[in-house]
Structure formats: C-alpha cells, structure tokens
Amino acid sequence: MPRIKHSKKQIVEALKKHPEGLTIGKVAKLSKMSRITATKYIQELIGERKIRERRIGVARLLFLKERFIGRVDEEKIIKKIKGKLR
C-alpha cells in the first residue's frame, strides 16, 4: 500500500475511533506521525470531503463526515465478501 494512502487511512481510523472529534496534535500522536505531516494529509482529506473541521474557540476539532463513514463500512463489507468467495 502506498505510504500516502496508508497515512490517510491511519488518520481516518483515528477519527473513526473518536467520533467526539480530535485536534490535529492528537491525530498526529495517534497516527504516529509529525504534526506537520498530519496537517498535510488532513488538508487533503478535507479537500476530498472525507473529514470536516470545526473551530471551537482557538481549537480546531476534526471529525469524519457521516457520508464517508458509511462508505468506509461498505468497503469493508465488500472486501470481506470477496475474501470469502475466493
């Protein structure tokens, strides 16, 4: 799996486990990457409309978009079914 795709997947997984939202620093820590690298991938994910950002005071919280959560779940189910058919 390409490194970029893997890094974005780590961010998505971290946000999926924390529906209450996470700061960029917390996402970086949970994804085991620098804050600068996490920010780069977070901006790409925001551009892809997979996550959203909400400012609360000086903090910026990140959340997975509900539509994307459903699509991720569907992809997992499809992969499981394909694996069983082989």
> Which amino acid does the sequence have at 70?
G
Distance CA 47, CA 18 (A): 21
Residue 28 has pLDDT above 90, yes or no: yes
Q: In degrees, to the nearest 5, what angle opens at C-alpha 82 toward C-alphas 48 and 69?
A: 30
Q: Which residues contact 62 (CB under 8 A, 6 or more apart)?
A: 15, 21, 22, 23, 24, 27, 42, 51, 52, 53, 54
pLDDT of residue 78: 60
pLDDT of residue 69: 61
- What does the pLDDT look like over 38-53, one tens digit per residue? 999 999 999 999 999 9
- Residue bearing tokens 């991720």: 72
Please name the CATH architecture into which domain 3-85 falls.
Orthogonal Bundle (1.10)
Distance of CA 28 to the CA centre of its chain: 11
